[in-house]
Amino acid sequence: MIVSLIVAVAENNVIGKDNNLIWHLPKDMAFFKATTLNHHIVTGRKNYDSIPSKYRPLKDRVNIVVTRQKDYKEKDCEIVNSIASAIDLARKNGETECFIIGGGQIYKSVLENNLVDQMYITHVLEEFEGDTFFPTFDVNDWQEKTLITHLKDDKNKHDFIVKKYKKKK
């Protein structure tokens, strides 16, 4: 099973503020949906809670929420107490590609513990104020490929580039 990470990151590594996304990029959201559809997604509880309730759980995906809260319950979600348990659950379910979707602490942990095989990173080509950051990583450890280059338009207010990073062996 491939463990992938998917994230949108500003030039200054900001990924959120006040437990919310900072930008609205419908084209990137469509890419996220198409990429993660019919797969297991792994999210931290705070990140899960930040998803507007009308979209929770994310449809046509197995939503796995990682939390330290022993009594946390969420309808139509799998609840686990560690990232390793989340990845194991996806593997046991026969998943081919499991997606880590955030938030900041989860991204930091999976990268520090070398749990990710590839990353889909939307590089938002501006700096933003925020309080949640994507960890830095050594780009030399990854083989990168540009998937989408999008210039701002009426619906997407920021330029962005989506790249796929594959871990070098």
Can you give the pLDDT at residue 169? 84
Its domain, for residue 70, covers 2-167
Give the ranges where the chain is alpha helix by DSSP (H): 26-36, 45-50, 83-92, 104-112
| Whether the Cβ atoms of residue 35 and residue 99 lie closer than 8 Å to each other | yes
Q: Which residues sit opposite 68 in a β-bridge?
A: none
Give burial (CB, 10 Å; 0-12/13-18/19+) of 70.
Answer: exposed
* pLDDT > 90? residue 147: yes
Q: Which residues sit opposite 97 in a β-bridge?
A: 2
Number of domains in the chain: 1
Residue-averaged pLDDT of the chain: 97
Retrieve residue 35's tokens.
């990429």
CATH for 31 = 3.40.430.10
Q: What is the pLDDT of residues 2-51, one digit of tens each?
A: 999 999 999 999 999 998 889 999 999 999 999 999 999 999 999 999 99
Q: What is the pLDDT of residues 89-108, one digit of tens each?
A: 999 999 999 999 999 999 99
